[in-house]
Structure 1
Amino acid sequence: MILLFPADVLRPQRVDEHFAAEADAARAAGLEVAVVDHDALSQPGGADAAVRRVRTQGAAVYRGWMLRSDQYAAFDRTLRQRGVMLRTSAEQYRRAHELPGWYSALAEMTPRSVWTAGIDRTAFDRACREFGTGPVVLRDYTKSMKHYWHEAALIPDVANPDAAWRVASRFHELRGEDLTGGFVLRRFECFRSAEVRTWWVDGECRSIGPHPDTPEEMPDAEFDPATVEDAIAALDLPFVTADFVLRDDRVWRLVEIGDGQVSDRPRTLPAEELITVLRG
């Protein structure tokens, strides 16, 4: 297996410092490591230039910065032309990376969600009406702005359309060209714990630990992956993360599914452990 990492911007033959420990652990485990140019991947038509330093063939896993689904698709196509097969296809990446791709299969374990295609005010108002009244949390298909909680994330009452639109407009302003898909509204639920990040390979939970935002914190209750294993396995995705949190009633709730290739590793999870997860 080949592990593909983003190159250091100033030293393009080296792995970006953020992923250097994982690259070292991969080499120590006998895996091949190659670098790709993330900046080129982010540009239209840049995939060929991005992978020019990949000079080997075989099955591969990417461990790097987030890519839009269309960028990943170009990445996947270009690598296949060079005899490198990403374990996660472009279609699988989109389903893991964007909420509409995984929501319907896991709706019972995550807050109720409604989304729009695009950022039209009429569609946004229609989505708000589906909730009637009460608080919701706003995001797009791939990301929230939770660090701007009161101005660009929490809508206190969707029954106030002008106030709701002000939050959506601020969210759009902050996300800019990175806004993906459209608006996603999720019913607000009261959570009482830090999140748990679980790592899954071929439908099997391989690691449980803290979320990167709270690397030193774990909930006071043990998370049992067997309770969700069938549902996540049914997604038929090769490498994903699933973040869970305890609600006020101590019920585990799913916060997010993410493609494992672009999910951050908390600093308290040793790089060697993640490489072991990937090797199976």
Structure 2
Amino acid sequence: MLVLFPSDVLRPRRMDEHFAAEADAARAAGHRVALVDHDALSRGATDQALERVPADGATAVYRGWMLDSASYALFADGLAGRDIRLRTSAEQYRRGHELPGWYPKLAACTPASVWTAGTDRAAFDAARAELGMGPAVLRDYTKSMKHHWHEAAYVPELADGEAAWSIAERFRELRGEHLAGGFVLRRFEHLTSAETRTWWVDGVCRLATAHPDTPDHTPVLAVETVPGLADAIAGLGLPFVTADLVQRVDGTWRVVELGDGQVSDRPATTTAESLMAIMLDS
């Protein structure tokens, strides 16, 4: 397996220090490592981004900073031009990275959600009416602004259209050019535990860790006890994803986020070796 890591922004011939331990673990397990320029990928300069990647017909896995779906598609096309196939295709990446791609399979395991294409007021109001009354959480296809909870994430009452729209406008302002897809409204649920990050390879849970935001949290979740979860994630048909779960006040475990595992951060309390062992075992 060829594992592609981001280079250091200031020293492009060197590994980004954030991923150095994982690169060492990949090499120790017998895999090859190459560098890509994440910033160049993000701005669409694919040839520049891949100039240090060998063109040798390998199957590759990316392990690095998040890319939007369009940038990942250009990444995959550029690698294909070098006779390299990403194990996670551009279509699979989009399906795991963006909520509208994964929500239909996981609807029973996650808060009820509706979304818009774009960010105009009429579409937002239609989505708000579809979800109904009560509180909700606002995000876009890939990210919330949870660190701006009261001004750009939490909608106290969907029926209050003007107040809800002011939150949507602030969210749009804060996300700026990085806003992905449109607005997503998710039914607010009272959650009581720290998040557990679960790592799935070919539809099988291979690792449960703390979430990077709470690295000292000891996971207590046994995924086999969550009804329907394993079948739902397997049904997505994705090579490598993470699912973040939190316990609701009634004891039910809920998926609060699903993401492509290539760009999901590893908590400091999980070793690089343990992650590489499951990520590259295919």
Q: Same fold (TM over 0.5)?
A: yes
Instruction: Answer whether contact 1:190 1:247 (CA < 8 A) is retained.
Output: yes
The structural deviation recorded for 1:217 is 1.1
Distance in 2, matches of 1:208 and 1:96, equals 18
Structure 2 SS opposite 1:234: helix
Residue 225 of structure 1 deviates from its aligned partner by 3.6
CA-to-partner distance for each residue in 1:7-26, whole Å, 9 max, x for gaps?
A: 00111111111111101111
Matching residue of 2:247: 246
Partners of 2:196 and 2:221 within 8 A in 1: no
1-side partners of 2:223 and 2:240: how far apart? 19
Match of 1:188 in 2: 188
1:170-216 deviation line (CA, Å, top 9, x unaligned): 10111000000000000000000001100011111110011111111
What is the match of residue 238 of structure 2?
237
Partner in structure 1 of residue 52 of structure 2? 53
The Cα offsets for residues 93-124 of structure 1, whole Å up to 9 and x where unpaired, read as: 00000000010011001000000000001100
Q: Identify the residue that residue 28 of structure 1 maps to in structure 2.
A: 28
How many angstroms apart in 1 are the aligned matches of 2:156 and 2:4?
42
2:216 is the counterpart of 1:216 = yes
Contact 1:96–1:240 (Cα < 8 Å) also in 2 = yes
**1:93-108 superposed matches below 5 A:** 93-108=93-108
Q: Mark the runs of 5 or more structure 1 residues left unpaired by the alignment.
A: none
1:85 aligns with 2:85: yes
Structure 2 equivalent of residue 128 of structure 1 = 128
| Mapped partners of 1:5, 1:11: distance in 2 | 14
Question: What pairs with 1:106-125 in structure 2 (closer than 5 Å)?
Answer: 106-125=106-125
State the 1:133 CA deviation. Answer: 1.4
The letter of the residue matching 2:48 is A
Contact 1:195–1:218, Cα closer than 8 Å, also in 2:
no
Shift of 1:53: 0.4
- Residues 194 and 218, structure 1, Cα contact 8 Å, conserved in 2: no
Paired with 1:218 and 1:248, the residues of 2 have a C-alpha distance of 19
Q: Unmatched 5+ residue regions in structure 2?
A: none
Residue 19 of structure 1 corresponds to: 19
Query: 1:222 offset after TM fit, Å?
Result: 3.2
Please give the TM-score of this superposition, normalised by the length of structure 1.
0.97
Superposed CA RMSD in Å reads 1.0
SS in structure 2 at match of 1:233: helix
- 1:41 corresponding residue in structure 2: 41
Distance across 2 between alignment mates of 1:131 and 1:222: 29
Of 180-189 and 226-235, deviating more is 226-235
- CA distance in structure 2 between the partners assigned to 1:225 and 1:51 by the alignment: 40
Segment drifting more, 96-105 vs 222-231: 222-231
Contact 2:113–2:131 (CA<8 Å) still a contact in 1? Answer: no
Amino acid at match of 2:265: D
Query: Could you list the per-position Cα deviations for residues 222-260 of structure 1 after superposition, in whole angstroms to 9, with x for gaps in the alignment?
Result: 322464211111110000001111000000101111000
Q: Distance in 2 between matches of 1:172 and 1:137?
A: 14
What amino acid is the match of 1:18? H
Aligned equivalents of 1:69, 1:29: Cα separation in 2: 29
Query: 2:35–2:53: 8 Å Cα contact kept in structure 1?
Result: yes
Aligned to 2:178: 178
Correspondence for 2:71: 71
Deviations 1:20-72 (A, max 9, x none): 1101111111110000001110113x111100100153011000111110100
Secondary structure (helix, strand or coil) at the match of 2:236 reads coil
Task: Report the TM-score, using the length of structure 2 for normalisation.
Answer: 0.96
Letter in 2 for 1:267: A
C-alpha displacement of 1:138: 0.2
Note the alpha carbon deviations across 1:122-156, whole angstroms, 9 max, x for none: 10011111122110000000000000000000000
